[in-house]
Structure 1
Amino acid sequence: MGLGKPVRRVLLSVVGGALVIVGVVLLVLPGPGLLLVLAGLLVLASEFPALQRFVDPVRTRAMRAAEESVSSPLRIAGSVLAGLALLAAGIVWGTVRSLPLSGWSTGTSLILSSLILFALLIWSYRRVRAKREEP
């Protein structure tokens, strides 16, 4: 059982780091990329308490960004189009062998990015709608 804690720490570090990296990549796309950065920081802070000081400022910015990402039909449309473009690019990169870095490893990562974008967009929309319906 002595091996369990180091393995858990490495696993959480990899998952947290991946969430932060994907979140940073999604920052350049329309959508709530800061939510993934926040999720990654929360995972990392569970193993590295020194990172806890970054959680609250990122949480504040992430919630504001989530609200802004669904604040108008134009922003929602832009996010949906970006997600569809990622999905299409993933399929193209997975099937067209003449493209640079072609193959399903690249295609799958693009498709996964689109699914994450859609999931976060839906979460943001529901959160904002519930907030508006509060008395």
Structure 2
Amino acid sequence: MAAKERVSGWIRRTGIEVIGWTLVVLGVAALVLPGPGLLMVAAGLAVLSQQYHWARRYLKPLKANAYHAAALGVKTIPRIIASCASALFIMSLGVVWILQPGVPDWWFLEDEWWLFGGVGTGVSLIGSSVIALVLIVYSVRRFRGKPIPPRWHRVRADAG
């Protein structure tokens, strides 16, 4: 019985490691590529925080600042409209990327640089937009009309 518990514990720890680090690495890559980079880094830290104290330490301020930013983002109707319009614009770019229209006459680079990345980039743009719209709806439901959560402020050891 004890050996079975050790094996299942090892499998759980290994799964946490693989999933957490995969999300962190993909999130860092998505910071410069199309995709929800910060969201994936936060998800990776959330998974890793089940096992590591350092991940919990990084996740706490990230979560507090994300809630603060989300609440500010839905504070006014114009901000909500601008956020939705931006997400829909990015989604439309994804559709254009998938459809791959011909290279226009005004394009000054080599033809292969026109909408490079193909369908994968388009799908990533559309997926990111869907995630953004879901997060906007979540933020409106959770934060609209309520007090704005405080930002995380690092407490200095020498202060006080």
TM score, norm. by length of structure 1 = 0.73
Matched, 1:76 2:83: no
Instruction: Give the Cα–Cα distance (whole angstroms) in 2 for the partners of residues 60 and 109 of structure 1.
Output: 27
- In structure 2, the partner of 1:128 is 143
Instruction: Give the Cα–Cα distance (whole angstroms) in 2 for the partners of residues 53 and 85 of structure 1.
Output: 36
- In structure 1, the partner of 2:19 is 11
Residue 69 of structure 2 aligns with an amino acid whose one-letter code is A
Q: Which portions of structure 1, spanning 4 or more consecutive aligned residues, are displaced by more than 4 angstroms?
A: 19-22, 33-37
- In structure 1, the partner of 2:56 is 52
Q: Which stretch has the larger CA shift, 75-84 or 41-50?
A: 41-50
% identical equivalent positions = 32
**Structure 1 residue 54, shift from structure 2 partner:** 1.3
**Structure 1 residue 16, shift from structure 2 partner:** 4.2
Residue 86 of structure 1 aligns with an amino acid whose one-letter code is I
Relative contact order higher in (CA < 8 Å, ≥ 6 apart) = 2
Residue 52 of structure 1 aligns with an amino acid whose one-letter code is R
- In structure 1, the partner of 2:96 is 92
Q: Give ranges in structure 1 of 5+ residues lacking alignment.
A: 26-32
Structure with larger Rg: 2
Task: Specify the SS of the correspondent of 1:46.
Answer: coil
Given the superposition, is the C-alpha separation of residues 42 and 8 from structure 1 closer, same or farther in structure 2, using an over 3 Å criterion? closer
Residue 132 of structure 2 aligns with an amino acid whose one-letter code is L
Matched residue count: 124
Instruction: Give the Cα–Cα distance (whole angstroms) in 2 for the partners of residues 128 and 7 of structure 1.
Output: 33
- In structure 2, the partner of 1:30 is none
**Structure 1 residue 102, shift from structure 2 partner:** 4.2
**Structure 1 residue 38, shift from structure 2 partner:** 3.5
Instruction: Give the Cα–Cα distance (whole angstroms) in 2 for the partners of residues 71 and 37 of structure 1.
Output: 25
Instruction: Give the Cα–Cα distance (whole angstroms) in 1 for the partners of residues 16 and 45 of structure 2.
Output: 16
Q: Give ranges in structure 2 of 5+ residues lacking alignment.
A: 1-6, 104-113, 148-160
- In structure 2, the partner of 1:105 is 120
- In structure 1, the partner of 2:132 is 117
**Structure 1 residue 48, shift from structure 2 partner:** 3.6
Q: Which stretch has the larger CA shift, 37-46 or 47-56?
A: 37-46
Instruction: Give the Cα–Cα distance (whole angstroms) in 2 for the partners of residues 114 and 67 of structure 1.
Output: 19
RMSD: 2.8
Residue 18 of structure 2 aligns with an amino acid whose one-letter code is V
